[in-house]
Amino acid sequence: MTRDFRTIISDIMKINNVTLLLSCAVSLSLMTGCSHAKRVNENTYPQEKTVFQTSREWRPTIDNRGDVAIIYGVGGNPSDRSRRVPFEQRVRSWQERGYKTHFMTGIAWGEYQDYFTGEWDGQWHLDEGQVTQNGDTIWHGHMVPYIIPTENFLTYLKEKHVKRVIDAGIDAIYMEEPEFWARAGYSDAFKREWEQYYGFPWRPQHESPENTWLSNRLKYELYYRALEEVFTYAREYGRSKGMDIRCYVPTHSLVNYSQWQIVSPEASLASLPVVDGYIAQVWTGTSREPNYYNGLQKERVFETAYLEYGSMESMTAPTGRKMFFLTDPIEDWPRDWEDYRRNYQATFTAQLLYPGIADYEIMPWPERVYEGLYNVSAGSKEKARIPRAYATQMHVMVNALQHMPLSDNKVTGSEGISVLMGNSLMFQRFPTHDGYDDPQLSNFYGHVLPMLKRGIPVKTVHMENLSYPATLKETKVLLMTYSNMKPLDKEAHAHLAKWVTEGGILLFSGRDDDPFQTVREWWNSDGLNYPTASAHLFESLGLEKAPAEGEYRVGKGTVCILRNDPKEYVLQAGGDEKLTRTVKHLYEEVAGAGTLQMKNSFHLTRGPYELIAVLDEGVTSEPFIMEGTFIDLYDYRLPVINTKTTEPGSQSFLFNLDSVNDPKKPQVLATAARVYDEKSSKNSYSFVAKSPVESTNVMRVLLPESPEECTILDAGGEPPAGNNWQWDAASHTLLIEFENHPDGITVNIKY
């Protein structure tokens, strides 16, 4: 790298005639990551495929039978009263029921009142909360501000929390949601961090695009530093006790943080050596954020979830880090149960369309899922716990995840179209300047939704990962813009130029007139004098600094320029016709990649599972019809069907009975309880099923012959309530029903 951020700040120092005392903590996180991560050896940590986070002690109503209970907070979760039960006692209560236990806490908020009120060190620290321009602290709960991660706070977090959980025997630590609100940046604590980092006095971010850029870049760096310091301490302290501590970051996607106007380290963490993996925090609450398409702003939950999971997968795929995909059967905002169920299916299907990920957080807060009271229907004021039918369906879904295989299969559709994104998407969101707006992140959605709505499985590519050869390996046409982001170093352009000259096809959309083009950055500093970030890119490609709209041959590759900001493709009805026509031309005629298939559905086969999503607002309103012999896993009754019709705007999840490897082997195919202790002989098959109380198990069991007897007994040797069984000769499956219990229900089948 020929130029770094220190040099840029030096230029700013000269302009402002101040003395620069830049902290040596300036991090290469803001540059293209080049360090290759150590991949967690999955064989070393078996049976950590499904996890969930809870701040409560074990109870029979929340015993969901995931592999790992991630115990939340030394002091619990600010939204409940779990702090009344000591942390170590909560850990033991889950371990005694056979769970592995990990630890999670927030790095931007948490039960840290003893720090803020001075109980820990005798100093009042509420001034370290994130503060807006009007002087308001941004709160997460009572006496729980969103935090500026000062060195003092990090010391507290390490000594008071991390040390304690390692002393309790925990060997996996999750620091969740490193979040700095873009609208914050006005507190005295932030001003001190600014002066220490930049070496000159704080500047209000609302006064200029450059101030906004510098403010958000500092927020980004502060949480990178925070995670690096806390995880380094955890590893070193663990080693002093003979333990190998693993460190994970549960984080929203770059798509969501950018849309919600939050700054976080995101893709830079993918190359941070002390990070072992991530949880992709995607759920109804993030995915229902409205976006624009065809001139209409509305919720598009499946599409947004698909893009969110995709951005998390592409963030880590080149590094080989472990990734858990999260879904939530409900969400933070109060809704009705049918709304939760419908959108849970949408996000659940979206996550399964990424066959290279097979580890999952099955739910956050089981105490909320099982014991929370929510509206029984839309518009109703009556509240109730989760309906039995929905709980059964949910258990079928999460237990299927225990067997969800990795797969080399691809989602149906034309492959090879990618969209470039970068961490600086978060830097330009708030506040707006000079009247330039990007409503609902439309400069991002303007590239991806026109593809996705036509059944093209568009991928996202992270600019920070361009140094990894695998990043663009499968990309035939790369779409990009600098209307909503900027490259954080010029090395990104070197990688793009190399890819194009070797045969890549780059489609650049942008007017290059947004106010952030003029911020003091590497392209206009230290002897460089490019009027826009793209001018350096185009020159690197052998073009003029501001080439006209058109198509240009560059080495073995092609550069196509459209002088529209991508938001123009979605803010107006029919606005994407030009983009779609251009992509089709580049894909078919320039890349020679075959016909660009336009459709309204996605289909993926993963082992015995069939995933189907049919889009509304698509090129056709036809349903997707699949023939065969299936168990419908989105129907709590687990019916065996021969035809499945999936309508536009909906999804399907099927178990394909025709794909069973050994149909003569007795086996549970679908179940609303987790199965243990399977035993089979020539004429019998038995197992134990466990799931929370106050829920109903429905399961289908494949048998080689019709059963003569099916005995169902609880741990006390008595038949459980609601026990029933029914043979389906056509499918050779036995449908079994009974009331669940975490102590186990024993099923013994003779045939």
Q: Could you read off the pLDDT of 506-557 as tens digits, one per residue?
A: 999 999 999 999 999 999 999 999 999 999 999 999 999 999 999 999 999 9
pLDDT of residue 83: 53
Mark whether 439 and 554 lie in a shared domain.
Answer: yes
pLDDT of residue 628: 98
pLDDT band at 39 (very low <50, low <70, confident <90, very high): very low
Mark whether 536 and 673 lie in a shared domain.
Answer: no
Residue 13 has pLDDT above 70, yes or no: no
| DSSP β-ladder status, 650-656 and 624-632 | antiparallel
Answer yes or no: is 518 within a domain.
yes
Residue 731 has pLDDT above 80, yes or no: yes
pLDDT of residue 319: 85
Mark whether 677 and 542 lie in a shared domain.
Answer: no
Answer yes or no: is 198 within a domain.
no
Please give the average per-residue pLDDT across 14-36, as a whole number. Answer: 36
Residue 447 sits in a domain of what CATH number? 3.40.50
Answer yes or no: is 53 within a domain.
no
CA distance 446 to 456: 14
Q: Which residues contact 585 (CB under 8 A, 6 or more apart)?
A: none
Residue 201 has pLDDT above 70, yes or no: yes
Answer yes or no: is 352 within a domain.
no
Mark whether 579 and 691 lie in a shared domain.
Answer: no
Please give the average per-residue pLDDT across 403-417, as a whole number. Answer: 97
Mark whether 682 and 559 lie in a shared domain.
Answer: no
Please give the average per-residue pLDDT across 692-704, as a whole number. Answer: 98
Answer yes or no: is 719 within a domain.
yes
Q: Which of 533, 563, 590 is the last residue of a domain?
A: 590
Higher pLDDT, 297 or 11: 297
Higher pLDDT, 714 or 31: 714
Residue 34 has pLDDT above 60, yes or no: no
pLDDT in tens, 114-143: 999 999 999 999 999 999 999 999 999 888
| DSSP β-ladder status, 68-72 and 50-54 | parallel
Strand-pairing partners, residue 683, are none
Strand-pairing partners, residue 539, are none
pLDDT of residue 46: 60
Residue 477 has pLDDT above 80, yes or no: yes
Q: Which of 590, 619, 651 is the last residue of a domain?
A: 590
pLDDT band at 20 (very low <50, low <70, confident <90, very high): very low
Mark whether 424 and 562 lie in a shared domain.
Answer: yes
Percent of the chain with pLDDT over 70: 93
pLDDT of residue 143: 86
Residue 314 has pLDDT above 50, yes or no: yes
DSSP reduced 3-state for 234: helix
pLDDT in tens, 70-109: 999 998 776 665 457 999 999 999 999 999 999 999 999 9
Of 18-27, 93-102, 236-245, 482-491, the least confident: 18-27
* CB neighbour burial string for 467-506, b if at least 16 within 10 angstroms, e if fewer: bbeebbeebbbbbbbbbbbbbbbbbbbbbbbebbeeebbb
Mark whether 701 and 581 lie in a shared domain.
Answer: no
pLDDT band at 271 (very low <50, low <70, confident <90, very high): confident
- What is Dmax (Cα atoms) for the chain? 90
Please give the average per-residue pLDDT across 261-282, as a whole number. Answer: 93
Answer yes or no: is 164 within a domain.
no
pTM to 2 decimal places: 0.94
CA distance 701 to 94: 29
Domains in the chain, number: 2
pLDDT band at 677 (very low <50, low <70, confident <90, very high): very high
Burial zone of 726 (CB within 10 Å; 0-12 exposed, 13-18 middle, 19+ buried): exposed
> Any alpha helices (H) in 470-599, and if so which ranges?
491-501, 533-540, 577-585
* CB neighbour burial string for 527-548, b if at least 16 within 10 angstroms, e if fewer: eeebebbbbbbbebbebeeebe
pLDDT band at 36 (very low <50, low <70, confident <90, very high): very low
- Picking from 147, 63, 48, the residue whose alpha carbon sits closest to that of residue 105 is 147
Q: Which residues contact 14 (CB under 8 A, 6 or more apart)?
A: none
Matching residue, tokens 């590893």: 235
- Domain span at residue 476 reads 417-590
Answer yes or no: is 29 within a domain.
no
pLDDT band at 7 (very low <50, low <70, confident <90, very high): very low
Answer yes or no: is 502 within a domain.
yes
Residue 18 has pLDDT above 80, yes or no: no
Mark whether 465 and 564 lie in a shared domain.
Answer: yes
Mark whether 679 and 584 lie in a shared domain.
Answer: no
The one-character DSSP state at 644 is E
pLDDT of residue 318: 85
Mark whether 570 and 485 lie in a shared domain.
Answer: yes
pLDDT in tens, 602-648: 999 999 999 999 999 999 999 999 999 999 999 999 999 999 999 99
Q: Is 734 left (phi over 0), alpha (psi -120 to 50) or beta?
A: beta
Q: Which of 571, 590, 609 is the last residue of a domain?
A: 590
CB 108 within 8 A of CB 127: no
pLDDT in tens, 137-188: 999 988 899 999 999 999 999 999 999 999 999 999 999 999 999 999 999 9
Residue 8 has pLDDT above 50, yes or no: no
Mark whether 555 and 679 lie in a shared domain.
Answer: no
Mean residue pLDDT across the chain: 93
Mark whether 713 and 581 lie in a shared domain.
Answer: no
pLDDT of residue 76: 75
Residue 38 has pLDDT above 90, yes or no: no
Residue 737 sits in a domain of what CATH number? 2.60.40
| DSSP β-ladder status, 246-251 and 674-680 | unpaired
pLDDT of residue 134: 97
pLDDT in tens, 618-631: 999 999 999 999 99
Of 102-116, 262-276, 650-664, the least confident: 262-276
Please give the average per-residue pLDDT across 192-217, as a whole number. Answer: 97
